[in-house]
Amino acid sequence: MTVPDWVRPVGEYIFREGLRETLRLAAIAVVASTALGILLGTLLTIRSRPLRAVIRVYIEVWRGLPIIVTIFLLYFALPGLVDIRLDAFAAGAIGLTLWGSAQVAEATRGAVESIPKNQHEAAAALGFGWAGRHRYVILPQALRRLLPPLVGLQVNVIQNTTIAAVIGVAEVLEAGNRSVERLTFSTADSHAFEIFAFVMLIFFVISFPLTRLSAYLERRLV
Amino acid sequence: MIIASIDWGFILDHLPELAWGLVRTLEVAAIAIFGSFVIGLVLGAARAHRIPIVSQLAAVYVEVIRNTPILVQIFFIFYGLPQVGISFSPFTTAWFAVTVWGGAFSTENFRAGFEAVPYRYREGSLALGFGRLATFVNVTLPIGGRIALPASINTYISVLKNTSLLTAIGYAELTNVSRSIAAVTFRDSEMLLVVAVTYLVLVWTMSAAMRGVEARLRLPEVS
């Protein structure tokens, strides 16, 4: 079987350049949104009203906005508002982290609140303060319950890295776009069908095992 | 200091264009939400009742859509499908792309809802002489549909938010209109703030209204 001439350079560009950028963006956003989300979600179960109100606003705003609007705000509006200029990669990573951490925070709150009250009371009776109670008793149990939805949410974060293509981050989708443009100019055929199908395939190969894992954890842990 | 730098008059001047964009957003969102609901209802029922062939095809559809990014799906439909002779108008591409995504998630919501209906309810209905279809319409749908409601609400809100991605293929909805105005006036901050506030108001209103519906329809038994 012979492979057409255009396939090799396009495949290499999408894999070498695009996939590297996608994985870099995904890694930062996944780690940052998980850490920040678990912290905010745990703080949300604290009794302090002002703190809770601030975190609630954070969650409702970044969950409510379409990610593309958040990324546009960071990339196009921030310079005019507060004179901060972010490059496209940073705007994408921060935008994804804001959305992801809001989602993770909400899931964490649910998981922490699902732990029965007597666990808190028993830990308090043993002399643990708030921090110790959460560190040794509540969070280890809550994290077990959080894991399945967390994996599902992070699959979404990984998929949403493609939105950074819109401001020009050369991740997988943008690499596909540029290939389509180049082919349209150099040959008459854009090969958009094959290229975007290939981009979908790349994400399917990454996402499918993770959504299976999430479903498996759901059955195992909950 | 932040507010002072915003030119409110500028926003007012462009309100008619933005309102037009908002209408285009709502139009696509309304079609897509309705379409997702119908697809989800039909395919979710087929999945839950393990109707041969339809159920397997629906499973493949759900897995493909759930495991690929919606923005890539939009590009595939807009740039890829015309390559193999399937072209739509921009408007059709717009609602079709967001409906296909919403339909898959909606299928999963309804499947889970219908499967959560205790089997004894359906047995009871069959014992009373209801046929399979009548059992579905009178028992599985009203109970399972309510169980599926919270997840469905989230899906419909996501569908509304996803219409903003259509800006990437140049479909003139709210986000795209604001970017077009910013492109010729360099008023990015004003435009994006208006758009952000509009989406938040839409999403929060929709979410509050749907929670109201959810509270009204709540089953006494399912907390």
The complex's ipTM works out to 0.93
- What mean pLDDT is reported for chain B? 93
**Is A124 a member of any domain?**
yes
Could you tell me if residue B105 is inside a domain?
A: yes
Residue A194 included in any domain: yes
What is the Cα–Cα distance from B207 to A106, expressed in whole angstroms? Answer: 15
Asked if residue B82 is part of any domain, the answer here is yes
Domains identified in chain A, total number: 1
Q: Which residues of B touch A (CB under 8 A)?
A: 2, 5, 63-64, 66-73, 75-76, 79-84, 161-162, 164-165, 167-168, 175, 179, 182, 188-189, 192-193, 195-196, 199-200, 203-204
**What pLDDT is attached to residue A82?**
87
Q: How many CB pairs under 8 A join A and B?
A: 122
pLDDT reading at B4 higher than 60: no
Q: Do A165 and B168 touch (CB under 8 A)?
A: yes
Residue A2 within any structural domain of the chain: no
Judge whether B213 and B54 are in contact, CB under 8 Å: no
A6 by DSSP, 3-state: which?
coil
Residue B222 lies in a domain: no
CA count, 13 A, side-chain hemisphere, A86: 23
Element of type H or E holding B141 = helix B141-147
- CB environment A35-44: b (16+ within 10 A), e (fewer): ebbbebbbbb
Q: Hunting for tokens 């959305």 — which residue is that?
A: A99
CB pair distance less than 8 Å for B168 and A166: yes
Model pTM greater than 0.80? yes
CA R_g for chain A: 21
- Residue B10 has what pLDDT? 87
Q: Least CA distance to B192: which residue of chain A?
A: A73
> Measured between CA atoms, how close is B186 to chain A, in angstroms?
10
How many angstroms separate the CA atoms of B157 and B101, rounded? 12
Please state, in angstroms and rounded to a whole number, the distance separating the CA atoms of residues B135 and B144. Answer: 12
Radius of gyration of chain B (CA): 21
Across the interface, do B70 and A211 touch by the CB < 8 Å criterion? no
Asked if the structure places residue A11 within a domain, the reply is: yes
Q: Is A140 helix (H, G, I), strand (E, B) or coil?
A: helix
Q: Supply the DSSP string of B26-74, one letter for each residue.
A: HHHHHHHHHHHHHHHHHHHHHHHTT-TTHHHHHHHHHHHHHTS-HHHHH
Helices A88-113 and A49-64 sit at what angle, rounded to 10 degrees?
Answer: 130
CA distance B86 to B79: 10
Mention every residue, 6+ apart, whose C-beta is less than 8 A from residue B53: none
Full domain range(s) for residue A99 = 7-221
Share of chain B above pLDDT 70, in %: 97
Q: What's the pLDDT at B77? A: 96
Q: Cβ A211–B182 below 8 Å, yes or no?
A: no
Give B-chain residues touching A77 at CB under 8 angstroms. Answer: 188-189, 192-193
- pLDDT given for residue A130 in this prediction: 86
Pair A79, A117: CB distance under 8 Å: no
Structural domain span for residue B79: 3-217
Rounded CA gap, A150 and A213, in Å?
Answer: 11
A29 touches chain B (CB under 8 A): no
pLDDT, one tens digit per residue, over B5-17 is 778 888 888 899 9
Contact call for B199 and A66, based on CB within 8 A? yes
- Residues A197, A11 contacting (CB under 8 angstroms): no
Q: Domain holding B163: CATH number?
A: 1.10.3720.10
Q: In total, how many domains does chain B have?
A: 1
A77 touching chain B per CB within 8 A: yes
DSSP A127: T
- A91: chain B residues, CB-CB within 8 Å: none
* Residue A166 contacts B where some CB pair is shorter than 8 Å: yes
Quick check: is B164 in a domain?
yes
A188 touches chain B (CB under 8 A): no
From the list A76, A173, A180, the residue facing B192 with the nearest CB is A76
Residue B123 domain flag: yes
Inform me whether the pLDDT recorded for B223 exceeds 50: no
Are the beta carbons of B180 and B167 closer than 8 angstroms? no
- Collect all residues of chain A within an 8 Å Cβ-Cβ radius of residue B162: 66
Give A115→chain B minimum CA distance, Å: 18
The C-alpha atoms of residue A35 and residue A16 are separated, in whole angstroms, by 29
Angle of CA points A195, A198, A200, to nearest 5°: 115
Give the gap in angstroms from C-alpha A121 to the nearest C-alpha of chain B: 25
Render each residue's pLDDT in chain A as its tens digit; 222 residues: 678 888 888 999 999 899 999 999 999 999 999 999 999 999 998 878 899 999 999 999 999 999 999 999 999 999 888 888 999 999 999 999 999 999 999 999 999 989 998 998 999 999 998 888 988 999 999 999 999 999 999 999 999 999 999 999 999 999 999 999 999 988 888 899 999 999 999 999 999 999 999 999 988 876
Examine residue B223 and state whether it is found in any structural domain, yes or no: no
- State pLDDT tens for residues B17-62: 999 999 999 999 999 999 999 999 999 999 999 999 999 999 999 9
Q: Do B165 and A176 touch (CB under 8 A)?
A: no
**CATH code for position A181:** 1.10.3720.10
Within-domain flag for B71: yes
Quote the minimal CA–CA distance from A37 to chain B in Å. Answer: 19
DSSP B218: -
